[in-house]
Amino acid sequence: MRIGEVAEKAGVSVRALRYYEEQRLLPAERGPGGQRHYPDTAVARVELIQRLYSAGLPSRVVREVLPCVDSGEPDPALLGLLVDERIDDLLAVRDRLDLVIALTRDPEADCSCLERAPTPRPRRP
């Protein structure tokens, strides 16, 4: 299938498909003229990628989860680790938002406390 056909069937933009390819989420073969050609399974894969993004997973995590889906044998340890990492990141964001909310209640508060707030862990490459 060509890129426009996959985009239409999956309900996403051509730009989104190019991004998925850049992120190594959706492989495409190239024809002699450089046009992308996708397998028949591409639409289902794009729909899965969209569901994973809707669940709040970043591209890095989606890239790690897809091989489990492709093999048909999810690695429970990997999936558990990814879920734990996401929870930690969300808890850190919540802590920072709690500080911002507290500052709005006290206009004379020292904003340097935001610098000491926990930040999400750096992402693995």
Mean pLDDT, consecutive 10-residue stretches, the chain (125 aa), reads: 95 95 92 91 93 85 82 74 82 89 76 57 50
The class that CATH gives domain 1-74 is: mainly alpha
So what's the pLDDT on residue 6? 96
Whole-number pLDDT of residue 46: 95
Could you state, in order of their start, the residue ranges of all structural domains in the chain? 1-74, 75-125
What pLDDT is stored for residue 83 in this prediction? Answer: 80
pLDDT of amino acid 125: 41
pTM: 0.62
Cα–Cα distances (Å) from 97 to 45, 51, 109, 113, in that order, read 34, 26, 15, 12
